[in-house]
Amino acid sequence: VVARVLEGFHGCVMAYGATGSGKTHSVCAGRDGLLARACAALFGGLGGAPATVAATCVELYLDGIRDLLAAPDDENRAAALSPARGNSPAPAPRKAAAPRRPAIREDPARGVFLEGVERRAVATADDALRLFRAGARRRAARSTAKNGASSRSHAVYTLELSRDVGGATVASKLHVVDLAGSERLDESRASGAGAREAARINASLSALGNVVAALEKRRAHVPYRDSNLTRLLQDSLGGSSYTAVLCCVHPGAGEAANATAALRFASRLRSVTTKPRKNVDPKDA
């Protein structure tokens, strides 16, 4: 996938599976995790050639988008400017510009992209990895009966690459996605806020399943807009991206049902095809 990104195509690698199956470990662990290997492969593939690389890092928590690289002051001001239920919005500080809230946009040339997020220039694989790990530490997490540090959000780590090739500007991006795990409330024993988180996670994963089913059956309408997760991953699921999925399963004897469900989902994904397209800036083509 990274090799294709270096050629100018979009790419995506996502980890899918039930809670506690090892998704976050597979994505973030040390130098062997997907993030570290993807960063090393991308910068190694550039071989010192002139290029601009930027990193973004967001989580989808309760189906809202949170910028994990935003400065705390910006994040606090954004929260203050958002009306809370039963309260009036706090006034913005005088002469302070309102921070942009992350939003999903679509453009005929760029496809689906995030607006209003921090894009940090990175010069090396280590630079990118440090940013991603700092963002990962800010993710929403909660202890459940099945996982002592369960991620309560989907995380999307992105490297955006731009360089001149043959007189044209080629711009591509690589998503590394750590999906939150599906879970049953009777197994996780979540309550209150934890139960609400689980319900929203399951709803977004259900929306993902519906999109995959529609793509698998080649339906005219694909319900990408049913959740921010499927909207953000629209190009990766049925668009112009090269996409790979790591299906994680827990080896425990009591996890057979969850493992079977994950493997069935992965099997359905194998029948979905995308139409990769090289991303050449039409202004320079």
Question: What are the residue ranges spanned by the domains of the chain?
Answer: 2-81+96-270
Smallest Cα–Cα separation from 170: which of 1, 2, 6?
6
Is 275 labeled as ligand-binding?
Answer: no
Model's pTM, two decimal places?
0.85
Smallest Cα–Cα separation from 102: which of 82, 124, 132?
82
Is 23 labeled as ligand-binding?
Answer: yes
pLDDT score recorded for residue 246: 96
pLDDT score recorded for residue 88: 39
The residue written with tokens 């529609």 in the block is 214
Amino acid in position 144: T
Overall CATH class of domain 2-81+96-270: alpha beta
Is 283 labeled as ligand-binding?
Answer: no
Is 203 labeled as ligand-binding?
Answer: no
pLDDT score recorded for residue 254: 85
Q: Which residues of the chain have pLDDT under 50?
A: 76-98, 284-285
pLDDT score recorded for residue 204: 95
pLDDT score recorded for residue 188: 52
Is 22 labeled as ligand-binding?
Answer: yes
Under DSSP, the state recorded for 152 is: -
Is 17 labeled as ligand-binding?
Answer: yes
pLDDT score recorded for residue 99: 57
pLDDT score recorded for residue 214: 97
